[in-house]
């Protein structure tokens, strides 16, 4: 299914973890993670031009985060606070009124889902997490893009469904790590079984 004349009122776009460390050259690079850029940027621009909310989640790990190998976790250090790896993929143009949610900032708590993220306002991490924030803004439908399909996109999608949002995964705007070859495929199956909708975003839908 491609999208023509979509009604985006009461929809928000959630861009998951499009950060340097998840892109080629980064500490935990998703193969071809950067290839989603044109579609993600088109989504951002389209949502912004339609007056819709754009939400950006980011991993914001302390240097000794529980998910790091040094602490017995599965991952090399990545998206560490204050490092270039934490920053957005450089080409990304982010609307000035976008909303930002950080996750994984507590040393002893792992957090894959954007719904575990907290709103960042005036440079401070607030107590407000994503689901109540979306409800405050009367959002019913979320479109999900970003990295990585088999981890944070999966977790964010399943939590969105759990929180009763109509959940649309933009399949050409996500990319997986595939530590095991079928991980992304399995994650997509799981998302679909739980009730996610899949669309392919046509870049020239403007
Ligand atoms: C992620 C592994 C560790 C992700 C975050 O954003 O998918 N994956 N931390
Ligand atoms: Zn992480």
- Residue 113: inside a domain: yes
In a domain, residue 6? The reply is: no
In a domain, 68, yes or no: yes
Q: How many whole angstroms separate alpha carbon 124 and alpha carbon 33?
A: 28
Domain contains 69 = yes
Q: What is the pLDDT of residue 8?
A: 82
Tell whether 3 is covered by a domain.
no
CA of 204 from ligand 1 middle (Å) equals: 30
Indicate if ligand 1 lies below 6 Å from the C-beta of 160.
no
CATH code assigned at 132: 3.40.50.850
Predicted TM-score of the model (pTM): 0.95
- Number of compact structural domains in the chain: 1
Peptide bond into 148 cis (omega under 30): yes
Query: Residue with structure tokens 């964010």?
Result: 156
Residue 2 included in any domain: no
- What is the CA(205)–ligand 1 centre distance, in A? 30
Residues labelled catalytic: 17, 103, 152
Percent of the chain with pLDDT over 70: 96
pLDDT grade, residue 2 (50/70/90)? low
Alpha-carbon span 173 to 34, nearest angstrom: 10
Nearest ligand to the CA atom of 22: 1
Cβ–ligand 1 contact at 21 (below 6 Å): no
Judge if the beta carbon of residue 151 lies within 6 A of ligand 1.
yes
Q: Which residues contact 26 (CB under 8 A, 6 or more apart)?
A: 19, 20, 33, 78, 85
Give the Cα separation of 188 and 144 in Å (integer).
Answer: 13
Residue 46 inside a domain? The answer is yes
Residue 193, CA distances (Å) to 19, 148, 196 in order: 28, 19, 7
The best mutation among 62, 114, 152, 174 to test binding of ligand 1, ranked by most ligand atoms within 8 Å of the C-beta, falls on 152
Q: How far apart, in whole angstroms, are the C-alpha atoms of residue 110 and residue 117?
A: 11
Domain that holds residue 17: 11-205
Counting beta carbons within 10 angstroms of the beta carbon of residue 51, is it exposed (0 to 12), middle (13 to 18) or buried (19 or more)? exposed
Say if 5 falls within a structural domain. Answer: no
Are β-strands 124-129 and 141-147 bridged in parallel, bridged antiparallel, or unpaired?
unpaired
Q: What is the pLDDT of residues 123-169, one digit of tens each?
A: 999 999 999 999 999 999 999 999 999 999 999 999 999 999 999 99
Please compute the mean of the pLDDT values over residues 88-102 and round it to a whole number: 98
């Amino acid at each position: 299914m491609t999208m023509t004349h979509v009604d985006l009122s009461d929809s928000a776009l959630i861009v998951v973890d499009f950060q340097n460390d998840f892109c080629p050259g980064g500490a935990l690079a998703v193969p071809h993670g950067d290839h989603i850029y044109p579609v993600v940027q088109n989504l951002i621009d389209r949502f912004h031009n339609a007056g819709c909310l754009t939400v950006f989640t980011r991993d914001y790990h302390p240097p000794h985060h529980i998910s790091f190998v040094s602490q017995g976790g599965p991952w090399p250090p990545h998206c560490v606070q204050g490092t270039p790896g934490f920053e957005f993929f450089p080409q990304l143009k982010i609307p000035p009124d976008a909303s930002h949610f950080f996750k994984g900032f507590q040393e002893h708590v792992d957090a894959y889902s954007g719904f575990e993220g907290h709103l960042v306002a005036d440079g401070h991490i607030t107590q407000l997490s994503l689901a109540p924030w979306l409800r405050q803004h009367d959002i019913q439908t979320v479109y999900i893009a970003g990295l990585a399909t088999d981890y944070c996109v999966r977790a964010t999608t399943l939590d969105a469904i759990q929180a009763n949002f109509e959940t649309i995964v933009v399949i050409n705007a996500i990319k997986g790590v595939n530590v095991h070859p079928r991980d992304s495929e399995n994650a997509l199956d799981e998302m679909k079984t739980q009730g996610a909708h899949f669309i392919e975003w046509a870049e020239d839908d403007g």
